[in-house]
Amino acid sequence: MSMVLTSPEETTSRPAADWCEAPPVTDADAKLPEWYRSLRAEAWERFRGTPAPARTNQAWRFADLKHVRFEGYAPALPLAESVVADLVARAVGERPADYAAHFVFANSRLIHAETPGLPEAALCLPVGETLLTQPERIRGHFLQHEDFLGGEKFASLHAAATLSGLFVCLPKGCVVTHPVIVHHFVGGDGAVIFPHTLVVAEDQSSVSVFDLFESITPGEETLIVAMADLHADHGGRIQYAALQDLGDTGAKHVQLQHTRAGRDASVKVGFVNLGSGWIRNESVNRMVESGADCQIFAANLANGVQEYDQRTLQSHEAQHTTSDLLFKNALYDRSRTIFSGLIQVQPGAHHTDSYQTCRNLLGSDEAEANSMPGLEIDADQVKCSHGSTSGTISDEEIFYLRARGIPSEDARKMISLGFLHEAIEKLDGEALQDFLFARVEKKFAAIG
C-alpha cells in the first residue's frame, strides 16, 4: 500500500528573529492531549533557563562553539506541490532495495507512506498522528528520559517543538523482517525541523529502523534537532541506523539517541555521517537488566572544514550485560572530529563485558581528531577496555597498491573505504549495507 499524506502538523510561520522569544505555535495545538501540552510548556521553560554550551563545560571540550546558536531559525515552511512530488520520486528512487515500510517527511510534514511488508500487529504511525489519535499508546515512552551528554538545551527545544517523525511499536512476538525506512528532508534558509523516532519492541519482538536526513537544496543554512528513543523489552531486538547526508556548508545537525535495553534484549545502533558543516551526536545506551546487549557503531567521512562532535555513554546497570562500541572517522582537508566516550559500570553490575574503540584515519596534515575515551567501574568481575588511535595511511600500503597499477589517489580512497566499511558491516541487512557503502563511495568521488 502506498499513499501521499499530509501531517497533522501545520506550522504557523514567524520571523526568524522571534524564534527564541516564544514557543512554536501550531494549528493542531488545541487538539493535543493535555499531558503533552504541559510537557511542551515545561520543556520550553527549561530551554529558556538552560545556559548555552560553553567550552568550560567538559561536555563541550574541544568543540568550536561558533557553530552553536539558536537565533536566526524558524520552523520550516510547507513546500509547493511540485517540490513535494519531486521529493517523493527522489526518496522512492534511492531507497534500499528491501523494506517493510517507507515514510517520507519534508519540512516536518508527512508526504508519502508505504507499508508493504509491515505485519498487521505492528503499529507504525507518525508521531503527530499518534498524539492526536492514540495518545495513551505513546505516553509511557515519549520524551521520558533526562540523561544527556551536554545537549540538554537542544533536548529541551526538541521536546517543546517536535510533532514530526515516526512511532514504531511492536507487540509481543512481532517480527518485522525488513527495515522501516524514514526519510527526513529539510529546506529553506533558516529552516529548522525536530524529527522524533520512537521505537518500542515488546517481549521477543524485532525490528530495524533506518533514518535518512537530507537537504532539499544543498548550501542552505538549516538546522535539524533529531531524537531517537529505543526501548527493547525482554528479548526484544532493535536495530537503528541513521544516515546524515545533508549539504556540507550551511547545514547543522544534532542527533540525540537513547537506548533502554531490558532483560536479554539486543540493540544495535549505527551512525553514518557524510554531510553537514557541523554535527553534534549524543548516544546514551543503558543496559538496565541482566543479559542486555548494546552495540554502537559509526562510520564518518569528513572533509573541508566539517566538524563532527560525538559523545557516547555505555551505562551498565545490571549484572551480565554487554556492550561494544566502534567509531571510525576518516578526515580530509581541515576537518575536525571529537570523540568523548564513557563506559560506566554501576554498583552491582557484576560480570559486565564492555568495549570501546575509536579509530581515526587522517588523510591530511591539517585534519584534527580529538579523542577522550573513559572508564568508570564500580563493580567486580568485569571485562572492560577502551582506547583510541589516530594515524595516516602508510607509504607501504600505497606502494603495494601502486605496484598493482592503481594510482596513488585511488589507492588512498580504497584504503579509506575499507577503513570505514568495517563499521558499516556490523549492521544487519545486505541491502542496507550496500546502500550505505554506495553513499560513502559517492562522497569519496566528490572529494576528488
| Structural element, H or E, at residue 8 | none
Please tell me the predicted confidence (pLDDT) of residue 16: 42
- 1 pLDDT more than 50: no
User: What interhelical angle do 430-447 and 408-424 show, nearest 10?
Assistant: 150
Looking at 18-22, 194-198, 323-327, which range is the least confident one?
Answer: 18-22
- 17 pLDDT more than 50: no
Mean of the pLDDT values across residues 153-178? 96
- 6 pLDDT more than 80: no
Alpha helix locations (H) across 121-211?
A: 127-133, 135-139, 152-161
Please tell me the predicted confidence (pLDDT) of residue 15: 35
Please tell me the predicted confidence (pLDDT) of residue 24: 57
Please tell me the predicted confidence (pLDDT) of residue 350: 96
- pLDDT band per the 50, 70, 90 thresholds, residue 23: low
Please tell me the predicted confidence (pLDDT) of residue 13: 37
Share of the chain above pLDDT 90, in %: 81
- pLDDT band per the 50, 70, 90 thresholds, residue 395: confident
Please tell me the predicted confidence (pLDDT) of residue 12: 33
Domain count, the chain: 1
Looking at 105-119, 135-149, 197-211, which range is the least confident one?
Answer: 135-149
pLDDT tens-digit map of 109-140: 999 999 999 999 999 999 999 999 999 999 99
Q: Which one of 395-409, 410-424, 428-442 scores highest in mean pLDDT?
A: 428-442
- pLDDT band per the 50, 70, 90 thresholds, residue 281: very high
Please tell me the predicted confidence (pLDDT) of residue 26: 60
pLDDT tens-digit map of 303-319: 999 999 999 999 999 99
Q: For 90-236, where are the E strands, in sequence order?
A: 101-106, 109-114, 123-126, 164-170, 180-186, 191-193, 195-201, 206-215, 222-232
Number of neighbouring beta carbons within 10 Å of residue 95: 19
CA distance 43 to 148: 14
pLDDT averaged over every residue in the chain: 92
Mean of the pLDDT values across residues 220-233? 97
With CA atoms as reference, report the closest residue to 299 among 376, 257, 358: 358
CA distance 84 to 125: 20
Please give the residue range of the domain that contains residue 226: 2-447
Longest CA span, the chain: 69
Contact 42, 23 (CB under 8 A): no
- 27 pLDDT more than 70: no
Cell numbers for 225: 534537532
- pLDDT band per the 50, 70, 90 thresholds, residue 405: confident
Please tell me the predicted confidence (pLDDT) of residue 249: 78
Please tell me the predicted confidence (pLDDT) of residue 20: 56
- 4 pLDDT more than 60: no
Please tell me the predicted confidence (pLDDT) of residue 21: 54
pLDDT tens-digit map of 366-382: 999 999 999 999 999 99
- 25 pLDDT more than 60: no
- 407 pLDDT more than 90: no
pLDDT tens-digit map of 334-350: 999 999 999 999 999 99
CA distance 133 to 420: 42
Please tell me the predicted confidence (pLDDT) of residue 14: 38
